[in-house]
Amino acid sequence: MPVRLEEEGMCRGAPHPGFAALSVLSHQTSFLKSTLSPLNSVLIHPSLPSRPEYLMNKDQVDPSPSVESHQVDQGGRVWSSNSLREKLEKLEEWRIDASLIEFPEDPHEFHGGNAAVERAFIWVSRSDDEDNIDGPEHSSDELPSPDAPAIKPDGGAKESECDRQDKDGSQASNLHQEDCGGKDDEEETEEDGERDHEVGDEEQELDDEDVERKTVAVKKLKIADDTNVERVLGLALREMEFLIELNHANIVGVTGFVEDLPNNIVWLILPWEDNGNLRDFLASGNWEIPERISLVTDVTRGVEYLHSREPPICHGDLKSLNVLVNAEFDAVITDLGSARRLSNTNLEGTEEDEEGLPQSADLTASPADAPLQVTFSTSTNTITLTGNVYTLRWAAPELLMEDQASLWSDIWALGWIYYETMTNAIPFEDVSTDIRVVERVIQGDLPSITDDVRVSSIMALCSLMAQCWNILPRERPTAQECQSSIEWMPWAIPSRREASSVESPQALSPTLLIMLGDLHLQQDNYPRALSVYSKALSKYTNNGYANGRAKTLCALANVQRCLDKYEEAASLYSEALKICAEVDDRDGKATALRGLGCVSELQREYNTAISYHSQALQIYTDLQDSGSRADTLCAIAEVQLHQTKFSDALANYSQALSISTDAGNSFQMAIALCGLGNTHRLREDPTEAISCHTRALDLYNADGNDSGRATALCGLGIVHHDQRELNEAISCYSKALQVRAKIGDTSGSADALRSLGLVYSDQDRYDDAISKYSEALQISIDIGDRSGRAETLRGLADLYRRQEQYAQALAHYSEALQISIEISEKGGQSDAWYGIATVYYDQDEYDAALSHFGKALKVRGDIGDMSGQAEVLDYLAEVCRLQEKYDDAISYNSKALQVRTEIGDAKGRAHSFCNLAEVYHSQEQYEDAISHYSEALHIFADIGDTEGRANTLQTLVEVYRNQNRLTEALSTAEQAAALISQVGNQEKASAALEEVASIRELIEGTTQYDARPGEPQAPFTLP
């Protein structure tokens, strides 16, 4: 039986992994350093009017606006809360004097439900600013081109210095802008954008080199006449505590706060972000899909960070208005006024704070700003709304039914951020009334995800949105699962383009073009991928960036490989290899070598493939790149499986697993485990095979990797199929098909359909089998996968052959042969010749069969397919035996035995001994036959193949009966019957028991037996 593998990585047309992670260098500078005296954080410029200090420590602060030891303020009011006073004292070093904040003459304001945000300026010490860079810095050791945005490494997560710091440390020093939840009635115009640019120009160094002015965002909490000001201050301080504690590149930072209750002033001072909130940023340009994915990746990472705190933090008001885009085009989550900590035992709702008040932004609200209340009457089927409904469109259904905000409601809102980012549309944009919004949410009448071309082009993201909007909160994915799902999508950090050319592909950077190409490649849109990659290649060629040109050549080669144009692919890989050698790009050189190895493997030139992969492995070893080493070891092991060198494959997969485990790389661990599962299956160890595939499936599930999940399910399906557990196999293949359809993996769907067709064929459900193969054939035609088309045609031909519809079988084999010749796929050619030969064999047209088997043998010899050679030699030997050309039959069988001995195929060796025994049996050379059957029995016993032992014993019974050695025949038949019962084949077990009874009758003399030799059974390896 030909080896079936669930292929991984590059050889299945995955996006080319040669692109290293690149980051744009940023200088995100903090205003403060909590470990230094606040007084030393600012130097007053000598030419400026005398000003109060930017920050004042406890010994120098005028106590009148703050809290005295007797809890009495300047107006004689007594603080009602010790907790509030203690918080003020704790945060004293973050206090800023209001007179230090300067508001420009051209106000830039945003108004929300409970606060307004205004742009302002503040003076800081440049030396302190430079010494307090605690936040993440993006670095780049390798830039693909001067205009290139940073890109992700192989679908992995963005990395920042912040991620490597203590996540429970001091607040991050990124520059962030607070949006508070809404815009002013006036829409931002192009002139506003120009003013933003002018503000950037204003942030220039002053005459004194020690002082500079920074732009900040001042969040002014609204205080009405009837508002409890202490409650407003309490909320502001609680938000301050959150901001100081959190330290993540995708969470807003903080500069300080202003508190002057006698004048109704409670302000939070935050960094200002020139790119504004996410909604406005999306409207400012025609952003490509990878750029949009970059933004949702940022937001997801921020939410995951909040949810992973101890205790977890629920944001409570996620929406596009509360996401900002900073100068580096990273998205940051802002407005933590509604945030609250959830105990590990109460993740469904809110806890109470130290003052016994619910931790909600609504603490600041006046009666007119009461929280949203939704009343649903089941008797009248009506809905009544009261209160502030500003965030209604993002509210999860359980919130509308008076439940508390939770991590699950954050996930619901996160799904809407995905939707907004990809479509530029707010939730229920077509709905004008709040009542109708609530009705649609509660009834589950959500917008169609697939109507938008950007969203529908990424089925995995469509699926994730649908999961986020599950009506059952606990059925929604966790933030970690969302992050894992998105990490595999091609992304590129947004890059500004001229408005006049934003629609033109020529305006896109080459790295963004490569990400777009990867996206098209994942969707099996090969013509579009070729077009986009070609544009990137032209740009790299024009700007003289050799490394980028080489990597793009590899990307183009990947597409050609998927189109089964192996010569074109090899030429492109070779050109990339030459460039990398000239510029001493060893990593790029290894990538090109890996590509050449994959092409050779697909052409079944296995020795050549091993050579290329081994050269790449040496480079990765020299570079101490453990991840790429593990990946290449798996590639080598996969080729060795094709060569049936199972021991070598087992060793390489095991080494790859060890490396990946040490590195904590669950993705590569899963790949190695799937490879080990395939190896154990081929070594006739189904228990260990199932264990490995199951472990891989668990890892893929934990990572949210749907593509890997489908791979592991197919691996399990093959094991069950081999064990004749056909219903279990159908279940696994069906689940894999469902997953691949969900994520838009069309070529993978075709693979799963072919596997289902094969199982149905084994169940003699030929109509169902033909239906599945026909679906797979149509997919292959639609996406231009000629190799897949040829494979499907061969599968259909096998079905027609089994039904003895030989004309149909020959037609399909011949069509498959023609395609394989056109695409220079030698392995496909040999399989087609082999199939045609078996049709002639089945019709007893032995001369024609010998001719076509000979062609298949030659091709398999040319490509080094030793296992395939042995398979053809078995058939050649059988044809010669049937023609009574016994010497030729023995010669072919002996060659097959030699090949299987060389490659260590123990089971194949046992079958070859059986085939030789059949030839001797046909010549009535019984002792030679018994000797060879005995050799086979020993091997089957050693490898634990019960069914093989049973079949051999049954054939040996015939030899003893033909010699009239009935006692030995009876003993052998009883052993065979016992083994068949263990296998569980009831039909064969009944026949074996009848055989035992028949021999007993012969021994007792009740029947007569003609001891003439009968027709031996066909060799075990023949289908």
The average pLDDT across 752-760 equals: 96
Residue 99 has what pLDDT?
82
Confidence category of residue 678, pLDDT binned at 50, 70, 90? very high
Q: Which fold has domain 314-486?
A: Transferase(Phosphotransferase); domain 1 (1.10.510)
User: Is pLDDT at 7 greater than 50 in this prediction?
Assistant: no
pLDDT above 50: residue 361: no
CATH superfamily, with its number, for domain 906-1004: Tetratricopeptide repeat domain (1.25.40.10)
| Domain assignments of the chain as residue spans, ordered by start | 54-134+170-189+214-272, 314-486, 906-1004
Domain 54-134+170-189+214-272: give its CATH code: 3.30.200.20
User: Mean of the pLDDT values across residues 789-818?
Assistant: 96
Mean pLDDT, to the nearest integer, of 141-168? Answer: 36
Please state the separation of Cα 389 from the chain's center in Å: 37
List, for residues 96-124, the tens digit of each pLDDT value: 888 888 888 877 777 766 788 888 888 77
Per-residue pLDDT at 165: 34
| Higher-scoring residue by pLDDT: 24, 312 | 312
CA distances from 866 to 5, 368, 539, 897, 912 (A): 17, 82, 45, 11, 14
Per-residue pLDDT averaged across 858-882, rounded?
Answer: 92
3-state secondary structure of 182: coil
> Tokens in use for 679?
């190896």
441 pLDDT band, cuts 50/70/90, is: low
Q: With the CA atoms of 264, 266, 272 and 274 taken in that order, what torsion angle do they form, in degrees rounded to the nearest 10?
A: -50
Q: What is the DSSP string of 799-836?
A: HHHHTT-HHHHHHHHHHHHHHHHHTT-HHHHHHHHHHH
Residue bearing tokens 């010497």 = 887
Higher local confidence (pLDDT), 177 or 338: 338
pLDDT(203) > 90: no
Collapsing DSSP to helix, strand or coil, 884 comes out as: coil
pLDDT surpasses 50 at 936: yes
- Burial class of residue 343 in the structure, from the number of CB atoms within 10 Å of its CB (0-12 exposed, 13-18 middle, 19+ buried): exposed
Least confident range from 232-246, 380-394, 826-840: namely 380-394
pLDDT at 486: 86
Range in 109-118, 633-642, 796-805, 809-818 the model is least confident about:
109-118
What's the pLDDT band for 706 if we cut at 50, 70, 90?
confident
Instruction: For 367-420, write each residue's pLDDT tens digit.
Output: 334 444 444 343 433 333 344 433 666 676 776 666 677 899 899 899 989 988
Separation between Cα atoms, residue 330 and residue 503, nearest integer Å: 22
Average pLDDT of the residues in 35-49 = 29
Mean pLDDT over each residue of the chain, to the nearest integer: 77
Point out which residues pair with 626 in neighbouring strands: none
| Whole-prediction pTM | 0.64
Report which DSSP code applies to 179: -
* Cα 220 from Cα 740, distance rounded (Å): 50
Lowest mean pLDDT among 182-196, 433-447, 540-554: 182-196
Residue 229: the pLDDT is 77
The confidence score (pLDDT) of residue 347 equals: 53
Is residue 9 pLDDT above 80, yes or no?
no
Cβ–Cβ < 8 Å for 718, 689 = no
| pLDDT reported for residue 278 | 93
pLDDT grade for 231, boundaries at 50, 70 and 90:
confident
Find out whether 826 and 862 touch, Cβ atoms under 8 Å: yes
Joined together, the tokens standing for residue 624 give 């101490």
CA atoms in the 13 A half-sphere facing the CB of 696: 31
- The more confident residue out of 43 and 881 is 881
> How many Cα atoms sit within 13 Å of 113 on the Cβ side?
25
The answer to which of 75-84, 738-747, 879-888, 956-965 has the lowest mean pLDDT is 75-84
* Stronger pLDDT, 407 or 491, i.e. the higher one: 407
CB under 8 Å to 307, separation ≥6 — which residues?
313, 314, 407, 410, 478, 479, 480
pLDDT of 1 higher than 70: no
375 in helix, strand or coil?
A: strand
Q: Please tell me the distance from the alpha carbon of residue 428 to that of residue 411, in angstroms, as a whole number.
A: 18
- Is the pLDDT at 694 greater than 60? The verdict is yes
pLDDT at 38: 30
Mean pLDDT of 322-328: 92
User: Which uninterrupted H or E stretch holds 340?
Assistant: strand 340-341
Whether the per-residue pLDDT at 436 is higher than 70: the answer is no
Mean pLDDT of 699-722: 91
d(CA 711, CA 622): 31
Helices (H), 523-645: 526-543, 546-562, 566-582, 586-602, 606-622, 626-642
- For residue 107, the model assigns a pLDDT of 72
Confidence band of 865 (pLDDT split at 50, 70, 90): confident
1003 falls in which pLDDT band (50, 70, 90)? confident
